[in-house]
Amino acid sequence: MPKKPPTDLQSPLRRKLLVGTAAASAAAMMSSPQQAFAQTFPTAKVNTTGLAVTDTEVTVGILHSITGTMAISETGSVEAEKLAISQINESGGILGRKIKFIQEDGASDWPTFAEKAKKLLVENKCASVMGCWTSASRKAVLPVFEQYNGLLYYPTFYEGLEESHNVFYTGQEATQQIIAGLNWVNETKKARSFYLLGSDYIWPRTSNKIARKHIEGHLKGCKVLGEEYFPLGHTQFNSVINKIKLHKPDVIYAIIVGGSNVAFYKQLKAAGIDLSKQTLLTISVTEDEIDGIGGENIAGAFACMKYFQSLDNPANKKFVEAFQKMWGAKTVIGDVTQAAYLGPWLWKFAVEKAGSFDVDKVVAASPGIEFKDAPEGYVRIHKNHHLWSKTLVGKARTDGQFDVVYTTPDLVEPNPFPKGYQ
Amino acid sequence: MSTANTTTKNRHLELIGIGLIALLILVVLPVWLDAFRLNLVGKYLTYAFVAVGLVLCWGYTGILSLGQGIFFGLGGYCMAMFLKLEASSVANTKIQSTPGIPDFMDWNQLTHLPFFWVPFKSLPFALIAVIAVPSLAAFILSYAMFKRRVGGVYFAIITQAFAAVLTILIIGRQGYTGGINGITDLRTMWGWDIRTDGAKEILYFACAFLLIGMMFLARFVLSSKLGRILVAIRDKEDRVRFSGYDVASVKVFIFCLASAIAAVGGAMFTLQVGFMSPSFVGIVPSIEMVIFCAVGGRQSVVGAVVGTLLVNYAKTSFSESFPELWLFAMGGLFIAVVLAFPRGIAGLFTDQVVPLFMKWKSARDGATPDATPAPAE
Amino acid sequence: MFGYSFGELGSIFAMQAFSGLILFSVFLLMALGLAIIFGQMGVINMAHGEFMILGAYMTYLTSHIFQAYLPGLFSIYFFVAMVVAFIVSGAAGLAVEWILIRHLYRRPLDTLLATWGLSLMMQQAFRTIFGAREVGVELPQWMMGALPVTDVIEVQINGLFVMALTLLITGGVALLMFRSRWGLQVRAVVTNRVMSGAVGIDTRRIDRLTFGLGCGIAGIAGAAFTMIGSTGPTSGQLYIVDTFLVVVFGGAQSLIGTIASAFTISQSQSTLEFFLSGSMAKVLTLLVVIGLLMLRPQGLFVLKVRK
C-alpha cells in the first residue's frame, strides 16, 4: 500500500476508536472492523521489518522490576500497562490485531534490564516495549534499543538530558516538573528562601541544579540557603532537620526517594516541623510513596506532578475505576503509574496514524499525536519525543490523596536540554 | 593410602576438569547457542573470574571477602574509562558545551577532563590500570589488616563496609564517575566497534581464553609450595607463623592476586556488556559472587566456574518463568550448600561420583587387587 | 563562626547533642541483639535486618488488629506491639537456630553465608505476604510531635521514647548478663566453652536461647523503628552496614564495647553531618571507623579469652 491511503483513513478511524474507548463499547467494535482491518492492513504491509505481528496478534514487551528493591516502585507501572493493553484489546486492538504482551523481570539489576531488552527485541521481536523505571535501567537498555531499532515507552519523570530516536518519554523531564512549581510557590506563598534536599544520585542532583538556577536567576530576590544530599537508603535526618530549623527557609524543597522518604517525613513531623505552617515542596512523593510514609505524616506538603489520582475529570474517573476494578479497590495511582498507562495508548495512536508497526514509521508518525482522553487531561507528543503536558501542584491530605491547588493554564513544553539551566 | 596419592589424583581430576570446561566454553557452547545466549554466557564467565579468585583466597587460604565487587568494579571502571573517552571524541560530542569530554561530565558542568581521567586515553595504560588499580586497592585494604592479624568475620565485615563506601562515593561524585547510571554507551576500542554480534563473539572467545588462562594460573599457584602454605594458613595460621613464615605477606599476596583476577573479569564484563555501573560494586553483587563460588565448590577451580555458570543459568531461567520464587530458590540453595555440601558441586563429585566410578571400573576389570582404592575411604 | 550568632550556636549545640543522643540510641538498639549473638558465638547474623523488619511488620499487624477490634485502646497499642514483635522474632530466631545455626558453630564464616541465604528468603516471604510496596504503620498521636523547650529547641517525643526504650533494654540485658544464673552460664561459655560443658552447663541450650534473645531484641528494635523509618520487604538492608560496624567496632564479648562503639560512631556521624553534606559525612564516618578498626582490630574493648 502506498503511503497516502492510511493518512486519509487514519483520522476518522482514530476518532471512532477514541469514542469507542471513551464509551467502552467494546463489543460493538469487535465484529465488522476486525475483518475490515485485516483486509485494509495485510500483515505483509504493516510489518516490513520482521516484527512479531500476525494477522490477529501483535507482541509487545513489558520490562520492569518485579523483584528486588525497585519492585516497590515499578509494580504500579506494570499494572497500568496491563490495564491499558487489556482496554485496547477490548476496544478492538490495533489495526485489527490483539496485543499480546511478554513480561520480563529486570530484577532491579541494570545488566539484567539490558539482557532482557535484547531478548525482547531479538528473540521475541516485540513491536514495542513498555518499561524501565530508574534512569540507570534506561541508560543500560538505551544502546540495545538503538542498536536493534526497538521502541521503548519510558514512564518515569526523570532528569532529562536525553533524546533518543527509539524512546518516548511519557513522564516529565525535569524542567516540566520544577519551574512551574517554583513560580507558583514564589507567587502564592511569597517564598523567598529555599533549602534544597535530595538523595545522592543523578535525578535529584540535576533537578536541584535546575531549581537553583531558576531560583537564583529567574525569581526576583530569592535565594538558596542550603543544598544537601544523602546516600540512598539513608535513615537519619535529625542533623539536617536541625539545620533547617536554624536557617528557617520559606520553602523546603525535597527530592528524597525510596525508604529514605519515609524516614525523612516521619522525623520531620517528630521534630515539630508542622507542614501546615512550613511550606514543603517535593517532586518525589506521589500517592504510591504516601502509602509507605503514612498520610498523617505528610499532610500539608505540596507535590509538583502532572497527575493526581484525585483529579476531577471524566476520563480520570473512568481510569481510576477501571484500575481499581482490575487491581483492587485499595490500590493507589501515582503520577508514574498514569504515565505508564499512556504508553500503550500513544503507541496505538501512532501505529494507526502510520498504518504500520514498523518502528521508523511509528516514530515518524508520533510527533503531534494527541491523547485527548488521557487521565491527566490532554497530552501531545513533542518532536523531541517527550510529552506536552500540564504541571499541577497538589496538597497532601491525611487520607493519602492530594487536593489540586494549582494547574498551569497551558501545556508546558518539554525541554530535555534546557538552555541556561545546565 | 597416602595423601600424596589423593592430591595427585585430584590434580589430574582438576586438569581433566579444566579441559572439559575448555571444551564446553570454546567449542560446545559457541556451536550450540545463538549470538544472544552466547553473549549471556560471556557475561557469566566474567563472574567466574571472581569465583576463581575466591577459590584462592577463601577456599584455600580462608580469607572470606564480602567485597570482591570492589575489585570487579574497579577493573571494569578502568576499562570503561578508556572506552568512554574513545566514544567521546570531539566529533561525537559536538553538541555539548565542552566537546571532547564524556557526556555526563558535560551535564555536571565540568569544562575539562579531570586529571585522573587523562591517562586513560591510552589503551596500554588502561590495560595496566585494570590490573594495577584493583591490586593496589586490595593491597591497601589488606596490608594493615593482615599485619595486625585481623581475619575471619572482621575482615568480611570490613570489606563489606568498603564496598558500601565505594558505592556511595561513585554515586555521589557523578561528575567524575557517571554516578548511579554508571559509564554507559561505550562504542569502540581503537576504532573497532564492540557492539556488533561479530565483535561480541570475538570478545566471548577472548574472555573464555583468559578465563582458562586464569584457571591454569590458579592451579599453578595452588600446586606450588605456596599452595601448601595457603592450606596450612587456613587450617592453623599460628603454627605457620611459628614455623617462621611471614603469614601476613602471603595473605596479602593471595588477596591481591584474587583481586587482580576479579578485575580482569570486570574489564571483560565492561567490554561484553557495554557499560559499567556502581551496582556491581556494592554489597549484594559481592555476596552473590561468593554464592557462585560456594555452590561450585570453594576448593576447586573447576567447581567455581561450573558453579558460576549453573547459578547464573538457573537465575536467568528461573527469573524468566518464576520470578517470584527466585529469591527463595537462591536463598535455599545457599543454605543447602553451606549446610549439606560445604565443598559444593566439586566436593559432591569427588566424594560421590568418583568412588562410584572407581567401583564400577574395578568391578569391570575383574576386581584386580592393584586397582587404586577410592580416595574417599 | 559559620554565620551564626552566639545564641544560635548555643541552640545548635543543644539540638545537635540531642540528635546525637537519638542516633546513639538507635544504633545501640539496632546493634544490641546482634552483639549478644556475636559475643556468644562469634557469629554475625546477616539476617539481622530482616528480623528487625519482622518486628516492624508485627507492629503493622498489631495496629490493624487494634484498629479493628480495640479502637479505644489504640493509643497504647504500641506497647503490645513491641511484646508481640519480641515474641515472634524471638520464636523465629529459636527456630532458625535449631534448623540452621546449630549445625554451623564450627564454621563462623559459613554461618555468615547461610544467614545471608536466610535473609533472601525472608525478604521474599515479606514480599509475598505483605506486598512489594512499603506499608505505612500508623502511630498513636501522642507519639508524634515535639515538646518545645525554647522557641528554637524542641525535643522529639519519639526520640525520647527510643532513648528510654534503649536504656530499658540495655539495662535489662546487663541485668540478665551479670545478675542472673543464665547470664553467669553465658559468660562461662564465652570464656571457655569446653570447660563450661564439662561442669554441666548445657552449652547447646545457652546458644539457642542467646540466639533467640538476640533476634527478639532485633524485633523490638524493628518495632521501635516504625517511628522513624520505613517498613518494606527490603528495608532491613538499610541498617545492616551500620549495625555490623557498630558490633565489630565494639569488639566481641563486650556489652560496654558495643555501647562505646555506638556512641563514638553516632557522635562522629551526627557532628560531621552538621558541617558537611549527608553523604560525605557518611563516607567519612565509615572510613574513620574502618581506619580505627585497622589500628585496633579486635574492637574497642576486648575480653581476654582462653583459646
Q: Which domains does chain C have, with CATH numbers?
A: 16-295 (1.10.3470)
Q: Tell me which chain A residue has its CA closest to the CA of residue C26.
A: A236
Structural domain count, chain B: 1
Report the b/e string of C236-255 with b at 16+ CB within 10 A.
bbbbbbbbbbbbbbbbbbbb
Return the number of other C-beta atoms located less than 10 Å from residue A213's C-beta. Answer: 17
Q: Rounded to two decimals, what is the model's pTM?
A: 0.85
Contact residues, chain A, for B200 at CB < 8 Å = none
Q: Are residues A231 and A370 in the same domain?
A: no
Kindly state whether B329 is in contact with chain C, defined as any CB-CB distance less than 8 angstroms: no
A229 to chain C nearest CA, in Å?
6
Kindly state whether C245 is in contact with chain B, defined as any CB-CB distance less than 8 angstroms: yes
pLDDT tens-digit map of A55-107: 899 999 999 988 777 777 888 999 999 999 999 999 999 998 999 999 988 87
pLDDT tens-digit map of A310-361: 999 999 999 999 999 999 888 899 999 999 999 999 999 999 999 999 999 9
Per mean pLDDT, which range of A62-76, A202-216, A298-312, B48-62 is the poorest? Answer: A62-76
Contact residues, chain A, for B103 at CB < 8 Å = 161
Kindly state whether B144 is in contact with chain C, defined as any CB-CB distance less than 8 angstroms: yes
Query: What are the beta bridge partners of residue A227?
Result: A196
In a domain, A150, yes or no: yes
Return the number of other C-beta atoms located less than 10 Å from residue B343's C-beta. Answer: 19
Cα distance between residue B59 and residue B257, in whole Å: 14
pLDDT tens-digit map of B187-244: 888 888 888 888 888 999 999 999 999 999 999 998 888 888 888 888 888 888 888 8
Local structure of residue B372 (DSSP, 8 states): P
A107, B137, A244: which is closest to C12 by C-alpha?
A244
Q: Tell me which chain B residue has its CA closest to the CA of residue A112.
A: B316
Q: Are residues A160 and A37 in the same domain?
A: yes
Instruction: With CB atoms and an 8 Å threshold, state whether C109 touches B62.
Output: yes
Quickly tell me which residue has 520480563 as its cell.
A104
Instruction: With CB atoms and an 8 Å threshold, state whether C293 touches B150.
Output: yes
Kindly state whether C56 is in contact with chain A, defined as any CB-CB distance less than 8 angstroms: no
Q: Are residues A237 and A214 in the same domain?
A: yes
In a domain, B352, yes or no: no
- By residue range, what is the domain housing residue A203? 174-305+392-407
Q: Tell me which chain B residue has its CA closest to the CA of residue C116.
A: B331
Kindly state whether A224 is in contact with chain B, defined as any CB-CB distance less than 8 angstroms: no
Instruction: With CB atoms and an 8 Å threshold, state whether A202 touches B180.
Output: yes
DSSP A70-117: THHHHHHHHHHHHHHHHHHHHTT-BTTBEEEEEEEE-TT-HHHHHHHH
Return the number of other C-beta atoms located less than 10 Å from residue C41's C-beta. Answer: 25
Those residues of chain B whose CB sits closer than 8 Å to some CB in chain A are 36, 39-40, 43, 97, 103, 107, 109, 168, 171-172, 174, 179-182, 184-185, 195, 273-275, 277, 279, 316, 319-320, 323-324, 326-327
Instruction: With CB atoms and an 8 Å threshold, state whether B64 touches C245.
Output: no
Average pLDDT, chain C: 85
The CATH number of whichever domain residue A376 belongs to comes to 3.40.50.2300
Q: Are residues A178 and A243 in the same domain?
A: yes
In a domain, A117, yes or no: yes
In a domain, A422, yes or no: no
Which residues 31-70 in chain B show a CB within 8 A of chain C? Answer: 62, 64, 66
Residue C205 is which amino acid? R
In a domain, B371, yes or no: no
Between strands A57-64 and A98-105, the pairing is parallel
The proportion of chain B whose per-residue pLDDT surpasses 90, expressed as a percent, equals 29
Average pLDDT, chain B: 85
Confidence of residue A7 (pLDDT cuts 50, 70, 90): very low
A209 to chain B nearest CA, in Å?
9
Q: Are residues A286 and A354 in the same domain?
A: no
Chosen from A266, A273, A293, A296 to mutate, greatest number of chain C CBs within 10 A: A266
pLDDT value for C40:
79
Per mean pLDDT, which range of A177-191, A331-345, B203-217, C269-283 is the poorest? Answer: C269-283
C43-59 mean pLDDT: 92
Q: Are residues A178 and A167 in the same domain?
A: no
In a domain, A416, yes or no: no
C297 to chain B nearest CA, in Å?
6
Q: What angle do CA C80, C86, C89 make, to 5 degrees?
A: 130
Least CB–CB distance from A266: residue in C227, C238, C239 = C227
Chosen from C134, C149, C152 to mutate, greatest number of chain A CBs within 10 A: C134
ipTM reported for the complex, 2 dp: 0.83
Q: Which chains border C (3 or more CB–CB pairs < 8 Å)? A: A, B
In a domain, B260, yes or no: yes
Side-chain-side CA neighbours of B291 within 13 Å: the count stands at: 27
Q: What angle do CA C114, B318, B333 make, to 5 degrees?
A: 20
A217 to chain C nearest CA, in Å?
24
Cα distance between residue B105 and residue A422, in whole Å: 11
In a domain, B312, yes or no: yes
Q: What angle do CA B141, C108, C245 make, to 5 degrees?
A: 45
Q: Are residues A277 and A256 in the same domain?
A: yes
B303, B306, B305, B259: which is closest to B281 by C-alpha?
B259
Contact residues, chain B, for C114 at CB < 8 Å = 334-335, 338-339
pLDDT value for B239:
87
Instruction: With CB atoms and an 8 Å threshold, state whether A271 touches C154.
Output: yes
Cell of A75: 509494580
Local structure of residue A230 (DSSP, 8 states): E
Residue B317 has pLDDT above 90, yes or no: no
Q: Are residues A260 and A150 in the same domain?
A: no
Q: Which chains border B (3 or more CB–CB pairs < 8 Å)? A: A, C
Please name the helix (run of DSSP H) or strand (run of DSSP E) that holds residue A404, with its range, or none. Answer: strand A402-407
In a domain, B357, yes or no: no
- By residue range, what is the domain housing residue B217? 13-338
User: What are the backbone angles phi and psi of residue C4, rounded to the nearest 5°?
Assistant: -110, 150
Structural domain count, chain A: 2
A305: helix, coil or strand? Answer: strand
